[in-house]
Structures are given as structure tokens and as C-alpha cells.
Amino acid sequence: MSNILLATDADWLVDDIEAAVGGAHLIHRVKRGADVVPAVAELDPDLVLLDFQIGNMGGVAACLAVRQEEEAGRLEPSVVYLLLDREADTFLAKRAAADGWLVKPLNAFNTLRTIDKALAVNAESR
């Protein structure tokens, strides 16, 4: 069972992710973008999912913070996916060095397939 860190303040998004992958993977949630780096350090998740819009620190900023900590050697490399609001946000996801993304609204089948693919890539690299 893989550990997935989900950063979102939207309960409906948690419900969507749990409906798509719950049972197959263990989901840990933080509600603030500022809590992502400490949670990654503590949990060493197999996948980090960041909501594009989180109240105090969005997914792009949280992704950049994770990448900065990795480059400084304070975190092990993580697979980070952004949950985008629209297709045009892929530009920002690329600039934040996200490994991939899903565009909302989420489809359970596509979500599960994308997450399983990301976890498989992560397993090969470890």
C-alpha cells in the first residue's frame, strides 16, 4: 500500500481522491500549503498531490518549496503532481517542476490510472 500526501482545503476534492484510490492507497491530508514540506519530511510519501488553490499557500508555491528543500538536500526527492483548475495552468505546473498533473473536475478512472502510473514510475526510481 502506497502513501499519498494530499494537500487541499477542499473536502469535496478529498472525497474525489478517496473514491478513486481509497483502499488501494493510504491517503494523508494536510489542509495548508505551508504544512506540505514538514509532512513530506515526516511521511516520505510515495506521491504528493497538491491542489492548485489552497487558501494560504497554493499548490505551485508548495511544489516550489518541496523542490527547493530537495535541492538543498533537506528532503529526499518526491513525485509531485498538481491538481489544476484548468488546462492553461499546465504552464505553471511545468514552471514549478511538477512531475505531472490532473485537471479538475476529476474523473475517477483517469485519476486512478494517473496515480498508479506515477507510483509505478516512483517505485522504479527508488
47-51: strand order across its sheet: 25-30, 2-7, 47-51, 80-84, 100-103
**pLDDT (0 to 100) of residue 30:** 97
54-79 pLDDT per residue, tens: 988 999 999 999 999 999 999 999 99
Q: For each of the domains in the chain, give its residue range(s) and CATH number, in order of start.
A: 2-125 (3.40.50.2300)
100-113 pLDDT per residue, tens: 999 999 999 999 99
**pLDDT (0 to 100) of residue 125:** 66
User: What counts of helices (H) and strands (E) characterise the chain?
Assistant: 5, 5
Cα separation, 107 vs 122, in Å, equals 22
Read off the amino acid at residue 93: A
Q: In the structure grid, which three cell numbers stand for residue 42, read together?
A: 515526516
Q: Which residues fall within 8 angstroms of residue 6, CB to CB, at 6 or more apart?
A: 13, 14, 17, 27, 28, 29, 30, 49, 51
Mean pLDDT of the chain: 93
Got the DSSP string for 61-82? HHHHHHHHHHHTTSS----EEE
